[in-house]
């Protein structure tokens, strides 16, 4: 039996992180490298700083400049990552967008854009990532980024709530089919994290106070709070976990 700490190491693994240029994605990519993985950064934005951090850790780093919601993005990601680093065996579906408006004023464009990036792109990339692993009977890990709005309704974010609620169900459905193929599919559900996506909420004194009053931990989360959960789900330590949605929320859901 392996020493317990060895089951959290990712040496020899190749991980893909989408939305890796900043925020949660950037920090998670570096954390995966700290655990021993080589990491492919997928993003529309500049990944130079993140790549420099990963290489300073002695890990290899690949980059794929693409919008995950664009046609053909999944195929490009898989081809480029394999060419740069070899066949990937960890996928962190982190990329996401959010649009805010009252339900009665919510536009078709804001509905379609969010569902495309937050749900359809995850389905397509996960399918193309898992297929070669299943074909050669190799183990793999898919970690989706769900949300507290996978469990709740939210306010003024109907398309985001729809996408994240669906993603929780898709995570379970994928797990049902891929577990027997040796691929673990789970998700993390971050709570209120201090990122660009929540900047408007943090800046609103009324909403900020109402959020903090509800969180037992009494603070906004940080990317570092999420890193341990993602490493766990990416590592052999979680090999018997399938279809789980792991909330990292400062206690929000139990309040």
For residue 147, the enclosing domain spans 4-194+224-246
Write the DSSP symbol of residue 251: T
Percent of the residues in the chain that have a pLDDT greater than 70, as a whole number: 99
Does residue 90 belong to any structural domain of this protein? yes
Q: Is the pLDDT of residue 1 over 70?
A: no
Give residue-wise pLDDT tens across range 93-132.
Answer: 999 999 999 999 999 999 999 999 999 999 999 999 999 9
Does residue 218 belong to any structural domain of this protein? no
Does residue 209 belong to any structural domain of this protein? no
Does residue 253 belong to any structural domain of this protein? no
CB-CB contact of 187 with 143 (8 Å): yes
Within 10 Å of residue 75's Cβ, how many Cβ atoms?
A: 12
Q: Is the pLDDT of residue 200 over 90?
A: no
Report the number of distinct structural domains present in the chain. Answer: 1
Nearest CA-CA partner of 142 in 155, 126, 156, 154:
126
Does residue 234 belong to any structural domain of this protein? yes
Q: Is the pLDDT of residue 30 over 70?
A: yes
What CA–CA distances, in Å, run from 110 to 69, 100, 115, 135? 14, 8, 9, 37
Does residue 91 belong to any structural domain of this protein? yes
Q: What is the CATH number of the domain that holds 106?
A: 3.40.50.720
Does residue 214 belong to any structural domain of this protein? no
Does residue 149 belong to any structural domain of this protein? yes
Give residue-wise pLDDT tens across range 148-186.
Answer: 999 999 999 999 999 999 999 999 999 999 999 999 999
Residues labelled catalytic: 160
Kindly report the average pLDDT of the chain as a whole number. Answer: 96
Nearest CA-CA partner of 102 in 157, 159, 161:
157
In the predicted model, what is the mean pLDDT of residues 26-45? Answer: 98
Write the DSSP symbol of residue 189: E
Q: Is the pLDDT of residue 197 over 90?
A: no
Q: Is the pLDDT of residue 2 over 70?
A: no
Q: Is 197 exposed, middle or buried (0-12, 13-18, 19+ CB in 10 A)?
A: middle
Query: What pLDDT is attached to residue 201?
Result: 86
DSSP 200-249: HHHH-HHHHHHHHHH-TT-S-B-HHHHHHHHHHHHSGGGTT--S-EEEES
Lowest mean pLDDT among 8-17, 22-31, 199-208: 199-208
Query: What pLDDT is attached to residue 180?
Result: 97
Q: What pTM was computed for the model?
A: 0.96
């Amino acid at each position: 039996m392996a020493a317990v700490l060895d089951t959290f190491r990712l040496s020899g693994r190749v991980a893909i992180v989408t939305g890796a240029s900043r925020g949660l994605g950037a920090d998670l990519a570096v954390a995966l490298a700290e655990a021993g993985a080589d990491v492919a950064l997928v993003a529309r934005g500049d990944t130079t700083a993140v790549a420099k951090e990963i290489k300073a850790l002695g890990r290899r780093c690949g980059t794929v400049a693409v919008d995950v919601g664009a046609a053909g993005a999944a195929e490009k990601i898989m081809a480029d990552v394999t060419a740069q680093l070899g066949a990937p065996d960890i996928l962190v579906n982190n990329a996401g967008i959010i649009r805010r408006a009252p339900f009665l004023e919510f536009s078709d464009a804001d509905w379609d854009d969010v569902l495309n990036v937050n749900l359809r792109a995850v389905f397509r990339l996960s399918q193309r990532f898992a297929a070669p692993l299943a074909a050669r009977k190799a183990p793999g890990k898919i970690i989706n980024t769900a949300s507290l709005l996978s469990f709740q309704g939210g306010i003024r974010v109907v398309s985001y709530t729809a996408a994240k609620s669906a993603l929780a169900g898709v995570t379970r459905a994928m797990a049902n089919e891929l577990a027997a193929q040796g691929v673990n599919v789970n998700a993390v559900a971050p709570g209120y994290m201090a990122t660009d996506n929540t900047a408007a909420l943090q800046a609103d004194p009324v909403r900020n106070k109402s959020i903090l009053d509800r969180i037992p931990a009494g603070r906004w989360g940080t990317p570092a709070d999420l890193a341990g959960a993602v490493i766990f789900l990416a590592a052999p330590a979680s090999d018997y976990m399938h279809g789980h949605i792991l909330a990292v929320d400062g206690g929000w859901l139990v309040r």
